[in-house]
Amino acid sequence: MKTSEVRKKYLDFMQERGHVIVPGSPLVPENDPTTLFTGSGMQPMIQYLLGTKHPQGTRVSDSQKCFRADDIEEVGDSRHTTLFEMLGNWSFGDYFKEQQIKWMWEFLTKELKLDPNRLYITAFGGDEQAGLPKDEDAPRVWQELFSSVGIEAGIADMGSEEVGGKRGMKDGERIFYYDSAKNWWSRAGVPENMPAGEPGGPDSEMFYEFTSIEHDTKWGEHCHPNCDCGRFIEIGNNVFMQYLKQEDGTFKELEHKNIDHGSGLERLVAATNDSADVFTIDVFQDIIKPLEQKSGKEYSDVQYQASFRIIADHLRAAETMIEEGILPSNTEQGYFTRRLIRRSIIHADKLGVPAGELSNNHAVKAEELQFRKTLEKGLKEFNKIKELEGKEITGHDAYVLFTTYGFPIELTQELAEELNIGVDIEQFKKEMQKHKEESRVGAEQKFKGGLADTSEETTAYHTAAHLMLAGLRKELGDGVTQRGSNITAERVRFDFTYSEKVERDVLDKVEDYVNGAINAGASVVVEEMDKEAAKESGAVGAFWDKYPDIVTVYNIKGSDGTVYSRELCGGPHVESTQDLSKFGKFKIKKESSSSAGVRRIKAVFVAE
Ligand code: SER
């Protein structure tokens, strides 16, 4: 099947079962500073899982583009990609486990006609430490479904992935219990890593068996669904989103039990084609085929396969990012666009694709030009290091070549190999690890302070951000739109479109506007309405073509009728701007350039 066919089949299937199909969200989350990219379909749904009413009702489905930066280094095998599309359906306090599992069975075996003999299931084995019980229901429902087609599905306890590898699968076993590391889902991972206020739940994953793949013992003595050898590939996850982590570390049941289902579209397509290699599906072959011609190399040639895969994934991801306005740069999201393109170029060189022919995308071409200049400088630096070091490139040098000159480690290794000198890879890895940990600390801090924590301070900053945007538009015109925000309990960082520096006297006026609205004790009133009507009424939004048909508009309105702000948003917000006054006066601390045509403001509340 083609990718577009499977996507359509799924969305039609969900629509027929009462779901409203909503557009996916942008790759850069609009109001979620907990993460740089949307990495799963549920991220934009978090408020609704926590209980806010979704304007489209209790059954929603979409196809969400996701980017997982952590997987960059994994790309090259048969199934890892950084960008993928996640097909998702959600029940916000509507149907639950049994219904979800039955629909999945129907979709996979009837709509996609996947062979049930090759379907394997995992379920949550419980977490004693966190006081979370084993899921007895999901395996029972699955067992009944298998039995309906004459398959006796045995249930087994695996525990951890490691134990699974030692134990393997016994005859007739098809449903496997694993621990929290495998069958628990939350944005923050396992139960103990979740901050208070974060929702999560046990899950039941579906795996497809690619019988052409022989288990390789380098991944463990025996094969099992969660083994990494590639024989079993996860094609979907049903999360029973029913718990909330509390301040004291225990879990309570959410008022509404939710379903959060996600399936990687590309993997599903590969399964329908019985191909264990996800890069054989149309969307990747469309990139690979022309490169085969330009390079004279073939994808089927194993020595080139990894390079073809890396380029196919990275180019597709980079071009999608560029489409969404994330141009290559040295900071935050744009840094990933840059890395993806640069890695593609290195691999295109390996394949012998002529310079400049990798992609027709303008931004990719511009980046290539710049990178080739950097490469030249890097090569000079490399030669200097080589002379200094004599026989070995130290880990630190390799690290500097990577961070300063954009030299991927493979390139350094290759150049060194040609000269018959070594590279201290162990030390390089250590330096990279240190670098990663530092950035992770940053990410964790963001997580705690994020808008999603719904703490009073963060919510206050979020409401203030709306007022600030309204103030900016009043002073600088309606051409100003939001380009992203990052809101923690300590400050708001806000990007908006404007081509020149905003002078201090203008910033003062914007501050006055925000503080004026705070002093007026304006109320925050939420309205649900038709998208077109919202647009006509002058509500502010930055992604009109991405919004669903029915939207939520947040109005900040004074008792005298003054409308201070009217903006599309998913919340949360304070009820009255009076709630902001206790944090002090709103102050714009800094205004600077963020990228071409985009300015960035940092603002805080200063206690009076
Ligand atoms: N949140 C789950 C996942 O990302 C299911 O959508 O796998």
Please give the Cα distance from 585 to 238 (Å, whole number): 46
Q: Which atom of ligand 1 is nearest to the CA of 238?
A: 5
| Ligand 1 proximal residues by C-beta, below 6 Å | 40-42, 88, 185, 237, 239, 260-262
**Per-residue pLDDT, 488:** 82
The torsion defined by the Cα of 49, 53, 54 and 55, in degrees rounded to 10, comes to: -170
Q: Is the same domain home to 465 and 588?
A: yes
Report CA-CA distances (Å) from 365 to 284, 352, 372, 404, 588: 20, 17, 11, 21, 38
Nearest CA to ligand 1 atom 4: 40
For residue 254 the two structure tokens come to 């959410």
In a domain, 116, yes or no: yes
**Per-residue pLDDT, 238:** 98
Please give the Cα distance from 51 to 79 (Å, whole number): 35
For residue 240, pLDDT beyond 50: yes
Q: Is the same domain home to 237 and 368?
A: no
Mean pLDDT, to the nearest integer, of 291-304?
97
Mean pLDDT in the chain? 91
Confidence band, pLDDT 50/70/90 cuts, at residue 33? low
pLDDT tens readout for residues 370-425: 888 888 888 888 888 877 766 788 898 888 888 777 777 877 887 888 788 889 99
Confidence band, pLDDT 50/70/90 cuts, at residue 595? confident
Q: Is the same domain home to 437 and 455?
A: no
In a domain, 295, yes or no: no
**Per-residue pLDDT, 605:** 96
Nearest CA to ligand 1 atom 1: 42
Q: Of 221, 250, 280, which marks where a domain is finished?
A: 280
pLDDT tens readout for residues 447-481: 332 354 567 888 899 999 999 999 999 999 999 99
Nearest CA to ligand 1 atom 2: 262
Q: Which atom of ligand 1 is nearest to the CA of 88?
A: 6
In a domain, 532, yes or no: yes
Residue 489 per-residue DSSP state: S
Q: Is the same domain home to 382 and 512?
A: no
52: closest CA among 469, 459, 365? 459
**Per-residue pLDDT, 447:** 33
What is the DSSP pairing of strand 154-159 with strand 119-124? Answer: unpaired
Q: Which helix (H) or strand (E) holds 488?
A: none
For residue 443, pLDDT beyond 50: no
Q: Which atom of ligand 1 is nearest to the CA of 40?
A: 4
The total number of structural domains in the chain stands at 3
Identify which of 40, 261, 263 to mutate to test ligand 1's pocket (most ligand atoms within 8 A of the CB): 40
Domain that holds residue 332: 301-443
Identify which of 61, 100, 260 to mutate to test ligand 1's pocket (most ligand atoms within 8 A of the CB): 260
Q: Is the same domain home to 552 and 577?
A: yes
Q: Is the same domain home to 249 and 163?
A: yes
Burial class (CB in 10 A: 0-12, 13-18, 19+), 406: buried
Q: Is the same domain home to 374 and 502?
A: no
